[in-house]
Amino acid sequence: MTGLLYLIPIALAMGLAGLIAFLWALRSGQFDDLDGAAGRVLFDDPDGPESTTSDRRLPP
């Protein structure tokens, strides 16, 4: 039964990692626009991502 002493913490840590990842995704707005996100990938520009960041380029 001593195996439990480290197996339980490991199992809990893995579960917690999943929970935290989900909460993070929720907080950072990953679930806000499910329709738009699906189409956004089709318009990925070669000149880098800019939609949520402050990365901007002036017209050439």
Partner 1 sequence: MSDAATLAPPMPERFVAAATCRHCGTPVVRGGGDFCCAGCAGAFAFIRELGLERYYVGRSLDPSARRPRPSEEPADNAALSAVAASDGTASLTLLIDGLHCAACVWLIERALQRHPAVIAARVNLTMRRLFLRWRGDVDAAPGLVQTVQRLGFRVIPCGAAREAGPSLDERELLRALAVAGFAAANVMLLSIAIWAGFPGEMGPATRDLLHWVSALIALPAVAYSGRPFFRSAMAALRVGRANMDVPISVGVLLATGMSLFETAHSGPHAYFESVAMLLLFLLVGRYLDRRARGRVHSAAEHLLRFSAAFAMVFGAEGTTRRVPVASLALGDIMLVAAGERIPADGMVIAGHSSVDKSLVDGESLPQAVAPGSKVLAGTLNIAAPLRVTIEAVGERTFLAEVARLMEVAERGRARLVVLADRVARRYAPAVHLTALTTFLGWAVVSPWQTALLNAVNVLIITCPCALGLAVPVVQVIACNRLFRSGVLLKSATALERLAEIDTVIFDKTGTLTRGYPELVRDGSFEEADITEAAALAAHSRHPLSRALCRAATEFCAAENVEEHPGEGLCCSTAGGALRLGSRLWCGASERAASGDTDLELWFARPGRVPLRFRFEDALRPDARAVVAELRRLGKKVVLLSGDRTKAVERAALELGIEDWTARVSPAEKFEALRLFTAAGDRVLMVGDGLNDGPALAAAHVSISPSSAADLCQTAADVVFQGASLRAVTQALAVARCSERLVRENIGFAILYNLAAVPLAIAGLVTPPLAAAAMSFSSIAVVANALRLGRRA
Q: Which residues bind partner 1 (CB under 8 A)?
A: 1, 4, 8, 11-12, 15-16, 18-19, 22-23, 26, 29, 31-36, 38-40, 42-43, 45-47, 50-54, 56-60
d(CA 9, CA 11): 5
Per the rule left: phi > 0, alpha: psi between -120 and 50, beta: everything else, 11 is: alpha
Rounded to whole angstroms, how far apart are CA atoms 5 and 8?
6
Min separation Cβ 21 and partner 1, Å: 10
Q: Cβ of residue 4: shortest distance to partner 1, in angstroms? A: 7
Q: Least Å distance between CB 45 and partner 1? A: 8
